[in-house]
Chain A
């Protein structure tokens, strides 16, 4: 069950698609040709940048090349994230502790948020939280999500990341309390990092889980999935 948040625009709309396998397959088909053409265009753009760099004098290289390369990478990352949402997502699950997965990344996440003037509070479970999960996909998707929130959030209160195991399900919650400001505009194209939200939803759905987004007051994401799942999503 998903409650899409309209203010999140494209990202929120794609959450509703990401958690529905039928819609994902349809999106994969629809985007297939578009993505192929886009990648061809990106390919020629990238090759042109290589040639420009070859032809630039050393003085020009450092300024113009860095700027062009940086802008190109933003576009490429945007296409990658859109494709990642509808790409086939077989899981390689292991039976492991969700705490280990989260705590392995939490120091980096805390640093990202601190750099934005935000505080992250980790609410770790007191009981064991072992279950089936794909640690690579899960940590990768959470990385992208936290990176986005570090840029996008303007929540004055400490942000809480809570996780654990309850009633046979592994879960995590991301809670930004208080009133939500739109925050500073992102330096890259709108919706690019926000695509990490539907991608996270897709990973949770691949775990046969549930994903909720709420923005009544603050910003709240809740996800859960069965602690025992098949290895093939």
Chain B
């Protein structure tokens, strides 16, 4: 599993038991840059540009956190959240969105998402949420 390439994006090398963050955004430049930034901050990441690929990744290995865009073709962020909640109810989801949403819409989204972040992202805010949700100690590799 280590060093495998998840089509179409490569993942940061990390151990088979290390917690990782799954990034989902159909805007490829954004998701690649975000993966690079979080990797630079020492956070293992896998990125993908569709909710369908994200579901396949979750099936393969459960992420610790999912950070997803809202508006994506076919299955959007809400649909992804519904699927994830049905299978992994305790898996935290963070939503990113560039849409014009009013307060009521954001409050509704917060029922399914741990945090709702507006684009352009405030990286410090995202890191704060991830720091809070990721385990304090790396998971020990039993191998």
Q: Determine if A9 is an interface residue (Cβ-Cβ < 8 Å).
A: no
Q: Are B123 and A28 in contact (CB under 8 A)?
A: no
How many of chain A's residues touch chain B, expressed as a range?
A: 20 to 34
Q: Determine if B36 is an interface residue (Cβ-Cβ < 8 Å).
A: yes
A76–B29 alpha-carbon span in the complex (Å): 18
Q: Are A90 and B103 in contact (CB under 8 A)?
A: yes
Question: B136 — which chain A residues lie within 8 A by C-beta?
Answer: none
Q: Determine if B120 is an interface residue (Cβ-Cβ < 8 Å).
A: yes
A44–B103 alpha-carbon span in the complex (Å): 25
A155–B102 alpha-carbon span in the complex (Å): 38
Question: A50 — which chain B residues lie within 8 A by C-beta?
Answer: 33, 37, 123
Q: Determine if A26 is an interface residue (Cβ-Cβ < 8 Å).
A: no
Question: A83 — which chain B residues lie within 8 A by C-beta?
Answer: 100
Question: B30 — which chain A residues lie within 8 A by C-beta?
Answer: 40, 43-44, 47
Most buried by A among B119, B121, B123: B119
* Min CB–CB distance B49 → chain A (angstroms): 12
How many of chain B's residues touch chain A, expressed as a range?
A: 20 to 34
Of the candidates B40, B103, B121, the one whose C-beta lies within 8 Å of that of A46 is B121
A44–B100 alpha-carbon span in the complex (Å): 18
Q: Are A36 and B121 in contact (CB under 8 A)?
A: no
Q: Determine if B10 is an interface residue (Cβ-Cβ < 8 Å).
A: no
A46–B98 alpha-carbon span in the complex (Å): 13
Most buried by B among A38, A76, A88: A88
* Min CB–CB distance B110 → chain A (angstroms): 17
Q: Determine if A35 is an interface residue (Cβ-Cβ < 8 Å).
A: yes
Q: Are B102 and A90 in contact (CB under 8 A)?
A: yes
CB-nearest residue of chain A to B102: A88
Q: Are A44 and B37 in contact (CB under 8 A)?
A: no
Question: B96 — which chain A residues lie within 8 A by C-beta?
Answer: 43
Question: A47 — which chain B residues lie within 8 A by C-beta?
Answer: 30, 33-34, 37, 120-121, 123
Given contacts A43-B120, A44-B27, A51-B33, 18 further A-B contacts (CB under 8 A): A28-B100, A35-B99, A35-B100, A36-B98, A36-B99, A36-B100, A38-B98, A39-B99, A39-B118, A40-B27, A42-B119, A43-B96, A43-B98, A43-B119, A50-B37, A51-B36, A54-B37, A83-B100
Interface residues in chain B, defined as those with a beta carbon under 8 Å from any beta carbon in chain A: 27, 29-30, 33-34, 36-37, 40, 71, 96, 98-100, 102-103, 118-121, 123
6 closest residue pairs by CB, A with B: A39-B98, A47-B33, A88-B102, A44-B29, A46-B120, A43-B119
